[in-house]
Amino acid sequence: MLVTMADADLLRDLRARVLDENEPLAGLLRTCLALGAITKSTELRRWATQELKGYGPEEKVPDYRELSLPLFVDSTSGNTFLQGQNIARLAAPPDAQEFIAETIAFRQPVEDLAAMNGSHRIGFAGLSFAASVWNKKLPFAQKIVQLYYMTSDSTVPGLLGTIRTTLLEMVLDMTQDLPLDQLPTRNQVDAAVQVHVHGGTHEQYNVEVGTNHGVIGQGTASAQAQHNGTNSTPEAALAAIRAALAEIDDPDDRAVLAQSVDDFEEAVAHGDPETMRRRGGMLSRLAAGIGNVALTAAVSEGVQAAVGALT
């Protein structure tokens, strides 16, 4: 990739600002939009756009935006009005529980979230229907007036902090061992987003198929999940990965993958399962982006063998 000084400055600027707690999150995400355009990473641009503009009603939100909130009820019993009683979801009748979600998806843009100060009531049609079903089972003179969730003073700041931390982890992975005058490849950026936003692990590798080249199976514009089992030792599997690297024609791709293998092998040597999963997920995404079947299979087996030996 031909990198201009201005392009490299953009990444250096992001790397410095992401560590500054006073930097507005929205500004960092806009920088990610520009970085995604320069590196041609559709994954980074899509994520930054969704965080800035919000997630649509049919779009799946990342796990960190799915929060479990306490459930409250306002009710009447005779002439007594009871407000703000905290109840368990299981306190509702079984046929009402199905309308009471266990988690709530926060779809708002980050700037809207930042404006949400203090605690807030959250209600939706499902809760109203659950109250209606519940009321049919209550004795005379008792009534559920309203069911709702409540955020605490720390709910939204905690969510925004998680988004910022996710961005920090992506930047650290993208820039690991990267010279200050260079940019990460598109595959590196895409892999960082997949691992830290979508929870990519060694257990499942999702390959976004644009053509049939280098992919097991058939069908364009589809997603395929490849699961691999292995009985090899971590050492043998890592050796197989390095052997498969020699078949990669592009020297830049080969160098990036070799560095990722080194990082993963270092995690294996330290015996840290969490770091192994994270770096193994990154390695698998990079391999999938190359589209070489032999390499993808070798990485799959190597990561599973190494992590499986410690778990």
With a cut of 70, list the residues of the chain below it in pLDDT.
1-6, 8, 200-232, 289-293, 310-311
Domain that holds residue 263: 5-54+161-308
Q: For 49-78, what is the HEC assignment? A: HHHHHCCCCCCCCCHHHEECCCEEEEEEEC
- What is the pTM assigned to this prediction? 0.66
| Residue 301 CB contacts under 8 Å (≥ 6 apart), including other chains | 228, 230, 232, 237, 240
Does residue 202 share a domain with residue 125?
Answer: no
Does residue 292 share a domain with residue 185?
Answer: yes
Number of domains in the chain: 2
Does residue 95 share a domain with residue 18?
Answer: no
| Residue 208 CB contacts under 8 Å (≥ 6 apart), including other chains | 223
Buried b (16+ CB within 10 A) or exposed e, 21-51: eeeebeebbebbbbbbebbebebbbebbebb
Token couple for 17: 């600002």
pLDDT for 104: 93
> How far apart, in whole angstroms, are the C-alpha atoms of residue 180 and residue 298?
31
Pairing relationship of beta strands 104-105 and 121-122 according to DSSP bridges? unpaired
The answer to the question of residue 59 being in a domain is no
In degrees, rounded to 5, the angle at the alpha carbon of residue 282 between the alpha carbons of residues 281 and 286 is 115
Does residue 41 share a domain with residue 186?
Answer: yes
pLDDT for 271: 80
pLDDT for 18: 87
> Of 106, 133, 153, at which residue does a domain stop?
153
Does residue 193 share a domain with residue 48?
Answer: yes
pLDDT for 310: 67
Does residue 243 share a domain with residue 96?
Answer: no
108: helix, coil or strand?
coil
pLDDT for 67: 94
Q: Residue 280: which of 252, 256, 299 has the closest Cα?
A: 299
